[in-house]
Structure 1
């Protein structure tokens, strides 16, 4: 490569003067346009005169890839400096085991030095075969004694320099990194995309101007029309000068002061500092090296630019303490388009252009040995030919002036190609439900030619064809899932999706595929696989079932059970699964960043969940249950249970009392079925919870921020687990004292207190019935009666025996209240029950079903149990003989208790111990009394 040129303008001096004169004539000498145009020429001269050859590229550009393939074949450089994050270098060898497109990824979940709400962090650099950076990588890795050096900032620095909010003077489309937001780009997830040489105007006004005068809709279409096609067949010098000029144009028409421009300049300082460090340490001759960077950075004006610069090296900041994990994830054309703001189908069309040009020119691109490409190689292909004589890589020579002077050569209309597109599109449309015919194919053909003519093109582009197809085929509705634009994309290029090979997967992903091999399925296929597990006849598949349930917990719908369930103490006989591990390979790869096995990752997540700052006792109990379900009993369960006890004792609110009650009940029910019984931590949890909720109960009854559902759950814990707690040494007097200290004001909590007092034998059922009757009789309180009913319904959790009483009160209200009160009152009752006690209403429905008859005629003759008169028995002159009579006489207190339960008056006749209602009861059922007496006597 030639040395620096003489003069400030070098070989492009005449072009500079011509542009300045034209700008002054057009805009005047005092306008900024002359300086901009002459500055563009100076930037081109500066880049071409650099001792280290700079290769300007555009991200995923077929023209750049073709020029790169030709230049590598001619120059055969020994060192390539590539604009990619330097910490991704170890991943490049793994590309041999993949099928493009794939993305190099840096991933981090445990952050040190970044805001916690940024987690997880993900930085991706997607690669396609039709990209200059892949051609450089393939050449360097498969050519002996060639060194590939990545010189861009690391993934850690990408996030360090990222502005939390977009700068107000910046256009998101012009940034080198973009956060993906399109749903169609799910293969990259919520990642930052890093590309090489992304060219786009720096502000919206310039882009809108270019699109308007170019008669195109999207920037990708403008770029293809005015840059890709003219440069696809250009020689290397023309390509290089034109790309640097475009980069300089966009750079000079960008706001001078802005956060994004500052970041870009720091990137350039970073890259040139790394290049100098490598040249100094390796002793590489710059003439044998090649610097591949974006055209925007090739026109850099930073002080560190060039090897001849005497500026101080850029002080590279230290990385944070964040632990980054690296790997390859699948990518796709649609994912790249969405992430980098390209038009839908742009990357697919670029791939089609790349393949068509390779076939037409019979060129063989650089491709990693052993790599799967997904397409056949062109027959009788040859390596990219050397450029014409005269030294394509020389800096001298003005190739830009004749390129700009020469009008674009209109391509001849290829009728066979366009006709084939139209016929194939009609065939594809008919398969997708459109009523397309041969007439539609003719209409698409003619409309494509017409649109191209209206837009000043001699040859219809794929975008013209797409517009014509939408106009002629897609009428008012879309009959299926795919519209015509999507069909055109499938026809012209398709959304190619890459895969990561088995050898390039992390150890966890390989372990998963190995352990699921007994299923006999192709788990790397992108289609959904159905797995049928007959665990009764094939017990060897039970480890596969265990693994699938763990993956279900970790990956969500990537593995989805169709039939079968996993519960504590349960054992499935058959299971059916839908597996999408091949389609959702990214999720499996990122799971591999967290550990070596699925069990290790699950244990780490469970331990992390109970140690989070917002962890609660309910969270810890859920972790205990999941540990038992997926990993079985062991030390992990005991550790999580002990953490649950500590969290419960530290809680000062009862917001999650319902979850705590439900989960501890389920765990205790499971442990009672085991031989060892409840472990020590479960016993401690019950005793701690009993004392804890007794302490918080008086406050919870009066706290406005605590709902009735939470208070009912507290009472459910205290009453439901009372027997277990008392057996472990708790004192029932503590609960009675707590209930006596409660003084609620709200109606629903008042009803809960009455239910608790009834459960503690502090409020008999007749007294409770009288209180409710007073509420219904008081016109000032009757409007609040639905809230009392809601409280009684909530009380069914701690006192389920109140179900008949609640049915009685509702029936009494419907029977006693007049329509003027009942009709406005009824909607409020329904809404209150639905909002506050929806899960307990089935209990009332079942109780009502047992109370009321199922046939309408029987309803007229129904006498509710609470209105039935006391049963009378015929008087007996003599006491009941036998052991039953003696039993009644010996235990009068028991008889009085039973008659009180049956709501019967107690009238003892001392002369006849068995007289009165108790005696009548024994006389009516002598067999029962005799049997009971026999049991007690025995």
Structure 2
């Protein structure tokens, strides 16, 4: 194929390929193909302008070309459905990112939601210059031709996968790589870095492309960029799915361009197509503006509902999103400003744009005449060494002085000598790397070597200080008018606080709700934002939000300026904060992995933040449904804690419990009774969970019985439980005591037997742990648990007791923290408060029990029986009972003795009553 003006260059490259006898067989084809690609692009009637993402050289070349050509139609490689957002850039401070967001998806896997696409925009980028030119110049049309955001995910290998890990500001959004230009052949990038004596790709690009092309003419710039894009394209793996997606993007863009040309009838000479250099060298059959070129079949979009908006971006977020070196975007911005000042070139800028240096707008001169036929600029560029700027001592000296001053402020012991050392080392490093002028990267390395040495005294290291010095991590801001309705509503409702919420610093808000009742609405909104936003965005310093509490004063730290993105993204979920919060609560309760504890948490939050009885009832009904389907009791402690709190709130504020809470109690009573025997035996179920189950059953027992539950079910569940672990055995004993099946004397006797059995003593600490956990279910055992702990400390040998104590402390802290104050108060009540009283102190469980008072009258039935011994003996003989019922046999207090006898034979009085009530002719009485 003949490339016209590039024939000489092709022959020269093919000659070089033949000279490399041992080179790869494909080398001549690759070198000739590079020249062919350049010729093909330049021969296209519709001018193709190749760019690199966030490249100052591309932005400068774009400004020059737009002022010369003044195209009437600008085709831009950007998702076509992001077009309506571009006018909102006037209300923002760059950098910001165009975002498309979809939480209600259709045609994609449900687990991939939400879907998010971002396209960052900086002032030092060719795309922003093109957007500003098109929007500010009358009669110019801007057409976005790249695939839609919906197609971005249609063409992803796994829908919802991320292009690259990024910092928090962009999260896991897909980055639209407009002008991405980086080798996709790892060996090539490694080769370039090695021979260029640089550490990373951003530094190589700055040295060998940015600086040489900063002042190049349009044809040289275009030919070099197409050559680089063609090289990276031909050496990229062609069998990758990403390469196929790139070709589909090119087919898509050219199809859209031809459609627009056919509809509008615009002359191709009046158009400009801005795309990445990688895509400029496209060889797909569908590339080109010729109407006879075949079109690409564009698949329809899915039914996903896409929302669009602007979010703040930052230099560090862009670097992380697209795999650039830290600080490279900041350095590019500084290079842009410096070059504009040196060349006196006036960039394009949107009217009303915030931030950045203000420059007087210049009227566009008449369009320049056609430059004539294309000439070969590549041969001279490739054969001659790059004309780099010489040493600028004043600039370097200023950097060195400023970095020493900044280092001192951050705790470094830097001095004037360090500034001199950084100056000389920067020049030395630049010379070792083959350049006369130290770059910012050389300066960074020199500063780290001379100032940081072996320690970092503060939060920032010297490399980070250099980035701040050279431009810093600039963060953009979205203006009020460009925000979604929800974000504007948040700012309006917080206006009574009298704070500048757009300020990028932490601000303290003081709310005296007693003297300023109008601030209650601000407090309510802040608590909802606390639930919805990250912790550092809205943080309470004083005050809390609990059921049944009325706040008096609150203090907040607000950092909404630096978390503007999260507020804006809330606007993609609803119109108001309340609507978003309701959706979040419903989503949490109906999540496939939701549990009854999760639903109860949502119920509590709905009561705290929203006044919606319907929502609360729906969430409560969902909690009942989830509890009935659970097959484990892992969440039993959380369920007990939350339902207790909710019932206490309802009893204090409403005349009757809501229907869902009553159903939750009855369902929980039956549910936990059913699972209790198995939970006692299973090793997977912890003591804490079993204790919580018993706590639910015993604390809710009176309410459950009043609602129709059967106590026999609980008694049977306890009788069927046969645990083997010591802790669960102690829990079972506590449960039997609560049911009246195990008196306290018998329980104390069993514990004494454990301490007296040398085979059981090593496991006794586990019994104690079980008794402590039982306080959740049987709080009246608190004195007994204190007694048990005291006996354990007194009787257990040190080899057993000392290793057990740390385990006991950590167990109480992690699983029963709320029980520790109960034990502490009981111990304070039981033990003496002074050392002198301790010597004469006797534990209450060892003190002799006082005798029964003689003055207490005996029961009436006991007195009656004792007063008629003959009758009593006759009845006893009739029933076949032998014994002496006389006063002499029963002692001085016959009433007490008879009462004890009646208690031991509780069925006898009933039998006697039935016997005496028989007809007079009955044989028993005869």
C-alpha distance in structure 2 between counterparts of 1:386 and 1:26, whole Å: 50
Conservation of the 8 A alpha-carbon contact between 1:327 and 1:505? yes
Choose which of 544, 547, 550 in structure 2 pairs with 1:571: 550
Choose which of 165, 169, 188 in structure 2 pairs with 1:180: 165
C-alpha distance in structure 2 between counterparts of 1:362 and 1:821, whole Å: 84
Give the Å deviation of 1:479. Answer: 2.4
Aligned to 1:935: none
Stretch moving more, 314-323 or 506-515: 314-323
2:355 aligned with 1:373: yes
Give the Å deviation of 1:128. Answer: 0.7
Aligned to 1:16: 10
**C-alpha offsets along residues 163-183 of structure 1, whole Å, 9 cap, x if unaligned?**
34999xxxxxxxxx83233xx
Aligned to 2:912: none
C-alpha distance in structure 1 between counterparts of 2:23 and 2:552, whole Å: 87
2:638 aligned with 1:653: no
The change in CA–CA distance for 1:258 and 1:708 in structure 2 (over 3 A counts) is same
Conservation of the 8 A alpha-carbon contact between 1:304 and 1:310? no
Aligned to 1:805: 784
Conservation of the 8 A alpha-carbon contact between 2:98 and 2:309? yes
Choose which of 112, 124, 131 in structure 2 pairs with 1:130: 124
**C-alpha offsets along residues 437-474 of structure 1, whole Å, 9 cap, x if unaligned?**
32222222222222222222122222222222222222
2:54 aligned with 1:76: no
Aligned to 1:635: 614
SS of 1:473's equivalent in the other structure is helix
Choose which of 692, 709, 717 in structure 2 pairs with 1:730: 709
Conservation of the 8 A alpha-carbon contact between 2:100 and 2:149? yes
2:268 aligned with 1:268: no
SS of 2:534's equivalent in the other structure is helix
Stretch moving more, 401-410 or 502-511: 401-410
Aligned to 2:50: 56
Pairs within 5 Å for 1:186-201: 186-201=168-183
Stretch moving more, 289-298 or 201-210: 201-210
Aligned to 2:582: 603
Stretch moving more, 25-34 or 102-111: 25-34
The change in CA–CA distance for 1:821 and 1:522 in structure 2 (over 3 A counts) is closer
The change in CA–CA distance for 1:510 and 1:471 in structure 2 (over 3 A counts) is same
Choose which of 568, 571, 574 in structure 2 pairs with 1:589: 568
C-alpha distance in structure 1 between counterparts of 2:553 and 2:800, whole Å: 56
The change in CA–CA distance for 1:475 and 1:39 in structure 2 (over 3 A counts) is same
Stretch moving more, 197-206 or 810-819: 810-819
2:282 aligned with 1:300: yes
Give the Å deviation of 1:834. Answer: 6.2
C-alpha distance in structure 1 between counterparts of 2:862 and 2:310, whole Å: 83
Give the Å deviation of 1:514. Answer: 0.3
Conservation of the 8 A alpha-carbon contact between 1:125 and 1:194? yes
Aligned to 1:424: 402
Give the Å deviation of 1:418. Answer: 1.9
The change in CA–CA distance for 1:724 and 1:353 in structure 2 (over 3 A counts) is same
Choose which of 418, 432, 456 in structure 2 pairs with 1:454: 432
SS of 1:865's equivalent in the other structure is coil
Task: State the TM-score, normalizing by the size of structure 2.
Answer: 0.90
The change in CA–CA distance for 1:498 and 1:637 in structure 2 (over 3 A counts) is same
C-alpha distance in structure 1 between counterparts of 2:463 and 2:48, whole Å: 39
Choose which of 420, 423, 427 in structure 2 pairs with 1:445: 423
Give the Å deviation of 1:253. Answer: 1.7
C-alpha distance in structure 2 between counterparts of 1:200 and 1:446, whole Å: 33
**C-alpha offsets along residues 540-592 of structure 1, whole Å, 9 cap, x if unaligned?**
11100000000000003210001100100101111110111111111111111
In the alignment of these two chains, the number of paired residues is 877
Pairs within 5 Å for 1:695-844: 695-818=674-797, 837=816, 839-844=818-823
**C-alpha offsets along residues 650-685 of structure 1, whole Å, 9 cap, x if unaligned?**
222222111111101000111111142321221221
Conservation of the 8 A alpha-carbon contact between 2:650 and 2:657? yes
Aligned to 2:104: 110
**C-alpha offsets along residues 58-108 of structure 1, whole Å, 9 cap, x if unaligned?**
111111111111111121212111111112111111111111110001122
Stretch moving more, 143-152 or 109-118: 109-118
Stretch moving more, 125-134 or 334-343: 334-343
Conservation of the 8 A alpha-carbon contact between 1:27 and 1:33? no
Give the Å deviation of 1:596. Answer: 0.3
Choose which of 329, 336, 339 in structure 2 pairs with 1:347: 329
C-alpha distance in structure 2 between counterparts of 1:827 and 1:522, whole Å: 51
C-alpha distance in structure 1 between counterparts of 2:863 and 2:572, whole Å: 75
C-alpha distance in structure 1 between counterparts of 2:254 and 2:862, whole Å: 103
Conservation of the 8 A alpha-carbon contact between 1:365 and 1:384? no
Conservation of the 8 A alpha-carbon contact between 2:73 and 2:271? yes
Aligned to 2:917: none
Pairs within 5 Å for 1:20-35: 20-27=14-21, 31-35=25-29
- Please list every run of 5 or more consecutive structure 1 residues that lacks an aligned counterpart in the other structure: 1-6, 168-176, 894-906, 920-938
Stretch moving more, 430-439 or 59-68: 430-439
C-alpha distance in structure 2 between counterparts of 1:738 and 1:710, whole Å: 16
Stretch moving more, 549-558 or 256-265: 256-265
Aligned to 1:510: 488
Conservation of the 8 A alpha-carbon contact between 2:113 and 2:160? no
C-alpha distance in structure 2 between counterparts of 1:834 and 1:406, whole Å: 74
Conservation of the 8 A alpha-carbon contact between 2:600 and 2:623? yes
The change in CA–CA distance for 1:831 and 1:193 in structure 2 (over 3 A counts) is closer
The change in CA–CA distance for 1:823 and 1:53 in structure 2 (over 3 A counts) is closer
C-alpha distance in structure 1 between counterparts of 2:608 and 2:814, whole Å: 32
The change in CA–CA distance for 1:395 and 1:480 in structure 2 (over 3 A counts) is farther
Aligned to 2:530: 552
Aligned to 1:146: 140
**C-alpha offsets along residues 320-378 of structure 1, whole Å, 9 cap, x if unaligned?**
3332221101111121122212222211121122112222222211111121133232x
SS of 2:71's equivalent in the other structure is coil
CA-based RMSD of the aligned residues comes to 2.8
C-alpha distance in structure 2 between counterparts of 1:30 and 1:578, whole Å: 64
Aligned to 1:926: none
